[in-house]
Amino acid sequence: MTDTAARPRILVARAVFPEVVNKLAQHFDVEANLADDIWPRDEFIRRLQGKQGVFTTGGERIDADVLKACPDLKICANMAVGYNNFDVPAMTAAGVLATNAPGVLTETTADMGFALLMAAARRVTEGEHFLRAGQWDRWAYDMLIGQDVHGSTLGIIGMGRIGQAIARRGALGFGMNVIYHNRARLPEGDEAAVKARYVSKEELLKTADHVVLVVPYSKESHHTIGAAELALMKPTAVLVNIARGGIVDDAALAKALREDRIAAAGLDVFEGEPKVHPDLLACSNVVLTPHIGSATVPTRKAMANLAADNLIGYLTEGKPVTPLNPE
Ligand code: DGY
């Protein structure tokens, strides 16, 4: 418990587990968004003024304008592994620490990648809509024919923790031939552990039966998959995005799905979410979920606790758990 006279002030920008807010309140004067309002940016900045720390959930942009308006700020702790809402170079220049929540959501997010892959490949949601609409009146040899997942070639773009967890599931659970593309090739031992073979992006797109995207969002990864990349994929291929909106050109994907250029897609993230491109909404061969890759109770609690521990560790002892800024 931190001495009340010297307690740092922090802002919790979105609603989180009450027990985590209570834990923070043992160390800090906390202003928490209990009603889970989406504060307009100017209100968020106004509330952040005079605070030393902020608990963010991935939607709050921390950039040069915020840093200039909030000179007391020392740390921004994201309850997410992705941190494209942070301008880390600007934060480093302003002496503000950035932290994220890596590791604790790896397996849960990999499960979601497989859920989307299975659902899209085997037309699970299409089948459910068909049944609920009362259209199912007989068994038919060619009804809702999908793509095999077991024994197929799985292409993973992005081979960090989550990419490797997907590779393990594919190789060991489904007997898949796993290929991957990444900025840097994994050390041989790590490749062998997940039974994955490094290939160029072009070879991956041409040969994979299923492509799963797990790259962080950046200027460089913007539209990693656009019309040209979709044109390289097999007409039977399934595309899964559990990374970030903006990695796929959603308009180009909707066109490819509509024209049966690829078989199906499973998407948990979207350009401009929570809005979803109307052309995607109009396609039946895409499974759509609202950014719930890490959404299980134990995982969300672990993410929230890690963000809280970063705030507590840094503001009380100068020791964050998972810092992002370069040394
Ligand atoms: C993450 O942790 O980056 C997930 O996408 C949740 O926001």
In the chain, the domains with their CATH numbers are 4-103+297-317 (3.40.50.720), 106-288 (3.40.50.720)
CA of 5 to the centre of ligand 1 (A): 35
134 C-alpha to center of ligand 1: Å? Answer: 37
Low-confidence ranges of the chain (pLDDT < 50): none
Atom of ligand 1 nearest to the CA of 291: 5
pLDDT confidence of residue 185: 97
Is 80 touching ligand 1 by the criterion CB < 6 Å? Answer: yes
Q: Which atom of ligand 1 is nearest to the CA of 303?
A: 2
* Total Cβ atoms within 10 A of residue 138: 5
Written as six digits, the tokens of 192 are: 């062998």
Query: What is the spatial order of strands in the sheet that 196-198 belongs to?
Result: 196-198, 177-181, 153-157, 210-213, 238-241, 264-267, 286-288
Ligand 1, atom 7: nearest CA belongs to which residue?
80
> What's the pLDDT score for residue 4?
58
**pTM of the predicted structure, to 2 decimals:** 0.96
CA–centroid distance, residue 229 to ligand 1 (Å): 25
Within the chain, where are the H helices? 18-25, 41-48, 64-69, 88-93, 106-121, 124-132, 161-168, 174, 188-194, 201-207, 227-232, 250-258, 278-281, 297-317
DSSP lists the bridge partners of residue 238 as 210, 264
Out of 85, 105, 221, give the residue to mutate to test ligand 1, the one with the largest number of ligand atoms within 8 Å of its CB.
105
Q: Amino acid letter at 26?
A: Q
State in Å: Cα 4 to ligand 1 middle.
33
The Å distance, Cα 16 to ligand 1 centre, comes to 14
Encoded tokens for 146: 């999908």
Q: What residues are annotated to the active site?
A: 244, 273, 291
- In single-letter form, the type of residue at position 274 comes to P
The Cα–Cα gap between 236 and 293 comes to 25
Is 82 touching ligand 1 by the criterion CB < 6 Å? yes
Note the pLDDT of residue 279: 98
As for the ipTM of the complex, it is: 0.93
Contact 312, 74 (CB under 8 A): no
| Residue 6 confidence (pLDDT) | 79
* Residue with CA closest to ligand 1 atom 6: 80
- Residue 142's Cβ-count burial label (10 Å; 0-12, 13-18, 19+) is exposed
Residue nearest to atom 1 of ligand 1 (CA): 80
Residue 33's region, left for phi above 0, alpha for psi from -120 to 50, else beta, is: beta
Taking the CA of residue 269 as reference, the ligand 1 atom at the shortest distance is: 5
Pocket test for ligand 1, best of 81, 161, 273, 306 (most atoms within 8 A of CB): 81
Ligand 1 neighbour 293 (Cβ under 6 A):
yes
